[in-house]
Structure 1
Amino acid sequence: MTWLLLVSAIAAEVTGTIALRFSEGFTRLVPSLVAVAGYGAAFWLLAQVLSRGMNIGVAYGVWAALGVSLVAAIGALFLGDGLTWIQAGGVVLVIGGVLALEMGGAH
């Protein structure tokens, strides 16, 4: 259940970030509301994850790595953002760092 909440937090954060792109500096109402709701839901869900005992380094690391990866992929695939090989390599390094954090905590 904790991992499902974390995945939901990540989805909410990615939704908020994509909506932020379309809000045009909070000048468009609907995307602005979606962005605020997405971030609010993301933080509430992350708080639920942490209250259930997940290590904060692991929770935040997974959230950050998957969030960055998904936003970069959505931007590159659907929003016309570029993604160079160096940037893609950076995303891989972030994911690798989170995996190291997770595996290093297992006993």
Structure 2
Amino acid sequence: MTTAWLALGGAIALEIMSTLSLRSLAAGWQPLATVGVVVGYVGAFSCLALALRGLNVGAAYAIWSGVGTAGITLLAAVLYDERITLVAAGGIGLIVAGVVLLTIGGATHG
């Protein structure tokens, strides 16, 4: 079970890296950013597949996408000076609360 959680953490980290690399590609073709996107997403989905060996798919996907969304939003504010409104901050809080509830509710196979 611990391996599944580590794999999920890796999937989240790689997905965040890849999505932030996509922002760099918005300015035009950049080979290093392109490699980061491709390798990151392949790695993220590979880690997510490993995580599903020990976690329920619904909970794992919700945690992956929710924590990824919150992480990207926060890092984009730091790295790209993107603004987080009060409503967006509330949304991040709801995501975190949802992730906690999913984890407490039993995210592993029964």
1:22-63 deviation per Cα after TM superposition (whole angstroms, max 9, x unaligned): 01276222101111110110001100111x231011111111
**Equivalent residue for 1:71?**
72
**Equivalent residue for 1:89?**
90
Taking structure 1 as the reference length, the TM-score comes to 0.89
Taking structure 2 as the reference length, the TM-score comes to 0.87
For residue 105 of structure 1, give the secondary structure of its aligned residue in structure 2: coil
**Equivalent residue for 2:23?**
21
Aligned-partner residue type, residue 89 of structure 2: A
Aligned-partner residue type, residue 43 of structure 1: F
In structure 1, runs of 5+ residues without a counterpart are none
- State the distance in 2 between where 1:21 and 1:7 align: 22
Which protein has greater RCO, CA pairs closer than 8 Å, 6+ apart? 2
Percentage identity across aligned positions? Answer: 36
- State the distance in 2 between where 1:18 and 1:84 align: 20
Moved over 4 A (4+): none
For residue 19 of structure 1, give the secondary structure of its aligned residue in structure 2: helix
**Equivalent residue for 1:53?**
54
Give the stretch that moved more between structures: 91-100 or 77-86. Answer: 91-100
Aligned-partner residue type, residue 100 of structure 1: L
* Count of aligned pairs: 106
